[in-house]
Amino acid sequence: MLRRHRFFAYSLATLVAVSPLMLTGCPTPPAPPGPESSVTKTEGEAESKADLADDVSALELAGATFVRNDAGNITEVKLGVEGSDENLKHLKGLPSLTRLEANVRGVTDAGLANLDGHPTLRILVLELSSVTDAGMEHLTKLPALEDIQLKRCDLTSKGYESLAKIKTLRRIRAPQTNFNDDCLAAIKDMSQLELLDLQDCNQVTEAGLAPLAGMTKLKSLRIYGPTITDTVMGYIKDCKNLASLSLEQSAVGVDGMKVIGGLSKLKELKLYGASNVTDDALAQIAGLKDLEILELRSTTTTSKGMVHLAGMSKLKLLDLSETANIDNAGLAALAPLTNLEEINLWYTFVDDAGLAPLAGMTKLKRLNLDKCQVTDAGLVHLKGLSNLEFLHIGSTRVTDTGLAELEGLKNLKHLVITFCNDISDDGVAKLQAALPGLTKIER
Domains located in the chain, CATH noted:
17-193 (3.80.10.10), 356-443 (3.80.10.10)
Does the structure show a pLDDT above 70 at 8? no
- With beta carbons less than 8 A apart as the criterion, state whether 172 and 150 touch: yes
Does the structure show a pLDDT above 50 at 40? no
> What was the pLDDT predicted at 48?
61
Does the structure show a pLDDT above 80 at 18? no
Does the structure show a pLDDT above 80 at 42? no
Type of residue found at 234: G
Does the structure show a pLDDT above 70 at 7? no
> What was the pLDDT predicted at 22?
35
- With beta carbons less than 8 A apart as the criterion, state whether 278 and 255 touch: no
Alpha helices in 125-275 (DSSP H): 133-139, 157-163, 181-186, 230-235, 254-260
What are the strands, taking DSSP E only, across 259-314? 268-270, 293-295
Give 104's DSSP letter. Answer: S
Choose among 241, 250, 243, 301: nearest CA to 271: 250
> What was the pLDDT predicted at 15?
41
Taking only the tens place, the pLDDT of each residue in 246-284 is 999 999 999 999 999 999 999 999 999 999 999 999 999
> What was the pLDDT predicted at 49?
85
Mean pLDDT for 325-347 is 98
Choose among 380, 383, 344, 385: nearest CA to 361: 385
